Amino acid sequence: MKVLPRASGLLEFPSSDIPARGAKVLRADEGRRSVETILGVEYARKSGVALHLNILKPRLEEGESSTFPLVMLVQGSAWFKQDLAQQLAQLVRFAATGLVIALVEYRPSTLAPFPAQIRDARTATRFMLGNAGTYHADPSRLIVWGDSSGGHTVTMLAVAEGLARFSDEASPDAETRADPLPIRGVIDYYGPTDLGTMNDEPSTQDHDAPDSPEGMVLGGVRVLEHPDRVREASPLDYISPTAALPPFLIMHGSKDRLVPFGQSAMIFNKLRDSGHAAELYRLEGADHGGNAFWTADEPFAITCAFIRSCCP
**At 299, is the secondary structure helix, strand, or coil?**
helix
Is the bond into 180 cis (omega within 30 degrees of 0)? no
- Burial of residue 300 (number of CB atoms within 10 Å: 0-12, 13-18, 19+): middle
Question: Is 0.85 surpassed by the pTM of this model?
Answer: yes
What pLDDT was estimated at residue 140? 97
Q: Which of 69, 120, 148, 88 is nearest to 308 (CA)?
A: 69
| Distance from C-alpha of 299 to C-alpha of 283, rounded to nearest angstrom | 9
The DSSP letter of residue 237 is G
What pLDDT was estimated at residue 3? 62
Q: How many CB atoms lie within 10 A of CB 220?
A: 13
Give residue-wise pLDDT tens across range 24-39.
988 877 777 899 999 9
What is the architecture of the domain spanning 35-310? 3-Layer(aba) Sandwich (3.40)
Kindly write down the DSSP assignment for every residue of 159-226, as one continuous string.
HTTTBGGG-SSS-TT-SB-SS---EEEEEEES--S-GGGGGGS--SS-TTSTTSHHHHHTTSS-GGG-
Q: Where are the domains of the chain?
A: 35-310
What pLDDT was estimated at residue 173? 66
What pLDDT was estimated at residue 142? 98
Is the pLDDT reported for residue 269 higher than 70? yes
Quote the mean pLDDT of the chain: 93
Tell me which of 20 and 191 has the higher pLDDT. Answer: 191
